[in-house]
Amino acid sequence: MSKKTVFLDAPNVGNLEKRYLAMAVDSGFVSTFGPFVQKFEETFARYIGVTKAVSTQSGTEALHVALHELGIGEGDEVIVPALTFVATANPIVYVKAAPVFVDVDKDSWNIDPREIERHITRRTKAVVPVHFYGNPCDMDRIMGIARKHGLAVIEDATESLGAFYNKKHTGTIGDLGCFSFNGNKVITTGGGGMVVGTDPKRLEHIKFLVNQGRDETRGYYHPEIGFNYRMTNLEAALGLAQLKRLNEFLNKKQVFNALYREELSGVRDIRFQKEYRGARGSWWFTCVVFERPVDLPTLQKVLLGKGVPTRRVFTPITEFPPYKKFKKSDLAHSYDLYERGLCLPSSTLNSEQDVRTTAREIKRFLKRGL
């Protein structure tokens, strides 16, 4: 008998999504023009409580156009956490600015506000906090530092759709917020991303930029250099259907996170991400850190042999050749979390039993290793 499949981060796509995609195909609007794009943007903006949202082809593009819109460019420095996916840093280089890598807090795994303030220079123009794995950053402290030093804040909320900080959605607290709808995110459009904010003029200009900087009132006239970053009607149709199921997905993520904590609560060598006061994570991924030495590659191999896939916590960006030349602080926590952290199956395709089985297999492995 074959093993039951447990999913790491696979998307949850069903009949509703098929129906919406069929509607988009039947309409004839399958490219970057069509009614689903506007509807998706409006519905998304209403859900997170902002005046306007602009869709893009990816979360990376959302970050890129946000930096561009805020005038970040050559000679500027942007402070980012070292422990994040490389897509947080790449757009900073696209605009010819320099990322400055700082350490994360050992408990929340998010960018440490003390490290932000410690690395501000006369060239610092922005901070990009990342709500790591769906756990909100300490935005009160970050915004206080930004206001004190006149810095822009672009929230990398690509992993945190549905998370809150002091009753505000992540992505809505800084100057601009960016989301991703890649296939493994909380909801998916296949690829795709979104930029949000509270300044409608700024968002209107971003909408103009992602459409090749085209002034549609004058036909094919382009007064600025723009980007071909538009979401397609097909992608937006998928996204709109996924939005209708978002609460279902978020509820499952919360339940899975609670179950992992319950099942592994008696293991003193395991700890989870901690939330700040006033924060409520969306738990895109539930991850653990092992407090004593554990052979993670062997653990992963054993779990995979039982049909349970896992993945390591992101490698600090400073390990990658293109980024070794940029400024960085002492990154002890970032490297420690990478060396000892493991991401557990978190797809909403899984059942509660899949989560309990995963946790029990981890405990069995640790017990054998004693």
Mean pLDDT by 10 residues, the chain (370 residues): 79 97 92 90 97 97 98 98 98 98 97 97 98 98 98 98 98 98 96 95 97 92 96 97 98 98 92 97 97 94 96 97 89 97 98 97 85
The first and second tokens of residue 169, run together, are 């959605």
pLDDT of residue 3: 63
Give the pLDDT score at 369. 64
Residue listed under structure tokens 């069995």? 364
- The residue type of 50 is V
List domains and CATH numbers for the chain: 15-244 (3.40.640.10), 246-369 (3.90.1150.10)
Distance, in Å, from the CA atom of 126 to the CA atom of 132, rounded to the nearest integer, reads 18
**pLDDT score recorded for residue 1:** 35
pTM of the model: 0.95
Cβ count near 79 (within 10 Å): 29
The H-assigned helical ranges of 70-199 are 90-94, 113-118, 139-149
**325 noted as active-site residue:** no
H helices, E strands: number in the chain? 12, 14
- Cα angle vertex 26, ends 21, 30, to 5°? 65
Q: What pLDDT shows up at residue 118?
A: 96
In the set 4, 148, 167, 185, the catalytic residue is 185
Comparing C-alpha atoms, which of 322, 352, 45 is closest to residue 206?
45
- Give the pLDDT score at 54: 98
- What is the phi/psi pair of residue 361, to 5°? -70, -35
